[in-house]
Amino acid sequence: MNAFLSIFLSSAFLAVLTTPWVIRLARRIGAVDLPGPRGVHQWPIPRIGGVAIFLAAIGPIATVLFTDNVISTACRGIQGQLVMLLGALTLIFLVGLVDDLKDVPARFKLLAEALIAGGLCLGGIRISSIALTDQCVLNLGAGATC
């Protein structure tokens, strides 16, 4: 559990550091959503916030995968799955980034995301249960055991 907490805290710290940089970058390159009759905001809002989230998520996980330390040892059993998830995460990020910079039709985004998710399924990645607490686990398809 300490390994996952370290990854979470590293990601949170990285998000705090990269978000202002991404905001400045978005303003510099004009990647902002301008106020208009269909919008809810009253000033330009950066559209590429996913860049900071992506960097914050992928940085610590990639570091764990490619270094040899206590945290990476705890994750060795799922290293192949993590590599597949990072690949899918990168593809989903790129679809979202392209959509932020150029308007991409919703059908294309849905198709791309479905293909990426299908690739994960073909690769054996499954979410079979969600642990809500140590005593309460939601087994998907089999009901909850609390």
pLDDT for the residue 1 = 56
Q: How many domains does the chain have?
A: 1
pLDDT for the residue 44 = 87
Predicted model pTM: 0.77
What whole-number distance in Å separates Cα of residue 7 and Cα of residue 57?
9
Would you say residue 2 has pLDDT above 90?
no
Closest Cα to residue 55, out of 25, 114, 10?
10
Split at pLDDT 50, 70, 90, the class of 109 is very high
Closest Cα to residue 127, out of 112, 142, 113, 111?
142
pLDDT for the residue 18 = 95
Which 3 state secondary structure label does DSSP give 32?
strand
Closest Cα to residue 97, out of 51, 34, 32?
51
Which 3 state secondary structure label does DSSP give 40?
coil
DSSP assignments along 125-144, one per residue: ----EEESSSS-EEETTTEE
Split at pLDDT 50, 70, 90, the class of 143 is low
Closest Cα to residue 112, out of 127, 97, 130, 123?
97
Would you say residue 133 has pLDDT above 90?
no
pLDDT for the residue 69 = 73
Phi-psi region of 105 (alpha: psi -120 to 50; beta: other; left: phi over 0): beta
What whole-number distance in Å separates Cα of residue 98 and Cα of residue 117?
18
pLDDT tens for 14-59 read 999 999 999 999 999 999 888 888 777 788 889 998 999 999 999 8
Contacts of 74 (CB under 8 A, 6+ apart): 3
Would you say residue 75 has pLDDT above 80?
no
99 within 8 A of 109, measured Cβ to Cβ: yes
Q: In whole numbers, what is the pLDDT of the chain averaged over residues?
A: 86
Domain ranges, residue 21: 2-145
